[in-house]
Amino acid sequence: MRCGLPATNVSVRYDPDMQEDLVWVARDDGPLPERQLDCIARASLSTTYYVYFRDQAAQTRYDLLYRKLEDAADMAHARKWLRARNLLATLPLPEKGQPLSRYAEAVEAFCGVKKASLLVVRHAHSITFAEGGLGRLTARGIEHAAANEAQFECVMAATSAADLKSRGIFFGLIGNAAAGPR
């Protein structure tokens, strides 16, 4: 079997909630070697399969490795996307000592999005989407979004290529952001 897992330790089950096939790996006699976890993570990234381990310690080790590989793949894809559009050389990056809002505004300008309409800084190390910035879903599709599809793709590529996580900056959706302080 691929990655050296015995077939008896692997099962695939359809999850109706996720509408995906999930790969479950049963506990082995001992901890899985790092190279084996790496192989499984790379296989998962190159397919549509989610992998879960029945052993929590293995799951924790796998999740850390998977996220690291996923972040690297996202950054490489984003840089390729920007390079193909001749944008990589002018990619804005957060500047140490400068407010994060300055970087968020630079990304919006870089992608042709109206200032402060899509991105908002929630605190010194966190950027999320402005309330209403992503628009609202209607029967006709998404309406009243601050960015069109190409601009949104640019924002996502710019923030991924900037490797914000390694700079200690979170970028993404923050649950119930509208309920936070104003």
| DSSP structural state of residue 120 | E
Determine which helix (DSSP H) or strand (DSSP E) holds 61, and give its type and residue range: helix 56-84
The encoded tokens of residue 73 equal 């793949």
Tally of CA atoms within 13 A in the half-sphere of 134 that contains its CB: 10
For residue 123, what pLDDT is reported? Answer: 87
The separation between the first and the last C-alpha atoms of the chain, rounded to the nearest angstrom, is 54
For residue 175, what pLDDT is reported? Answer: 66
CA distance readout (Å), 105 to 4, 37, 61: 48, 39, 36
Determine which helix (DSSP H) or strand (DSSP E) holds 110, and give its type and residue range: helix 100-110
For residue 4, what pLDDT is reported? Answer: 86
3-state secondary structure 27-54: CCCCCCCHHHHHHHHHHHHCCCCEEEEC
For residue 178, what pLDDT is reported? Answer: 46
Contact 177, 128 (CB under 8 A): yes
Tens of pLDDT along the chain (182 residues) come to 478 888 889 999 998 988 888 999 997 778 889 999 999 999 999 988 899 999 999 999 999 999 999 999 999 999 999 999 999 999 999 999 999 999 999 999 999 999 999 999 998 899 999 999 999 988 998 889 999 999 999 999 999 999 999 999 999 887 654 444 43
pTM: 0.78
10 Å Cβ neighbour count for 7? 7
Indicate the SS3 state at residue 157.
helix
Contact 61, 88 (CB under 8 A): no
